[in-house]
Amino acid sequence: MVRTPLEKGMDKIEREILEIAEIAKKAVLLSVESLKERNIEKAKEVADLEEKSDILNLDIDNDCLKLLALQQPVAKDLRFVHTMLKISDNFERIADLALKIAEITPKYEKKPLLKPLIDIPRMAETISQMIDTDITAIKTKVPPDTDKLISEDDFLDDLYSQIYNELLSFMLRDPRNIDDATDLIFVARYLERIGDIAAKTGARIYYMITGERVWVK
């Protein structure tokens, strides 16, 4: 069967969305690895990924607007294009936040972190799983398990609170720890925010596939 220009355009946008999602996931994992290992090369790789996400996000934006103008999709196809516009921005934002983490790494190239990173890598792995859920739903057109995404987001919130309280105790015990502890609090906060975005992305994909809205905080 010959594919219509609309179908070809939607296929192209989907491929681009899957690419930017993979970029975002890789950027998150690499950013935390760069900090944990105090690895400047990995931090630079995150910067490269973030730049790629910026360019790809613009391409997706242009392709979606072109499809809306020239092919005038309706119903489910319109939901698809509108969703792709929104979640492309989400994945680009995730890469931005990952870069903020990587930008902390050079500060620790020649000195140790305040404490070994245990819960922060757990946050990154959970986010990776959440983004994989989003990616699978886009590929299969099967609605994502939003309850699971919400549960994982709650887990990240709890880990952030735990990390915050632990680092606060470091600062109270010794004011000389304030600067280094604040860095790690920011890292955990960025990851908590990324989790929110990944969960909300899943809710948008759910709406795209089913036409039904689900609430994600």
Model confidence over 158-212: pLDDT tens digits?
999 999 999 999 999 999 999 999 999 999 999 999 999 999 999 999 999 999 9
Sign, CA dihedral 95-101-107-111, equals negative
Question: Is 217 within a domain?
Answer: no
What pTM was computed for the model?
Answer: 0.96
For residue 54, give the H/E element and its range.
helix 40-71
Residue 216, domain member (yes or no)? no
Whole-angstrom distance, CA of residue 91 vs CA of residue 165: 29
CATH number (domain holding residue 137): 1.20.58.220
Chain mean position to CA 64? 21
Note whether residue 51 is domain-resident. Answer: yes
Classify the phi-psi angles of 212: left when phi > 0, otherwise alpha if psi is within -120 to 50, otherwise beta: beta
**Token pair in block for residue 130:** 């959440």
Task: Determine phi and psi for 132, rounding to 5 degrees.
Answer: -60, -40
Contact between residue 144 and residue 133 where contact means Cβ atoms under 8 Å apart: yes
Q: How many domains does the chain have?
A: 1
Q: Where are the alpha helices (DSSP H) in 72-177?
A: 75-102, 119-140, 146-173
Domain assignment of residue 88, given as a range = 5-210
Residue 112 inside a domain? The answer is yes
Query: pLDDT tens for residues 2-24?
Result: 679 999 999 999 999 999 999 99
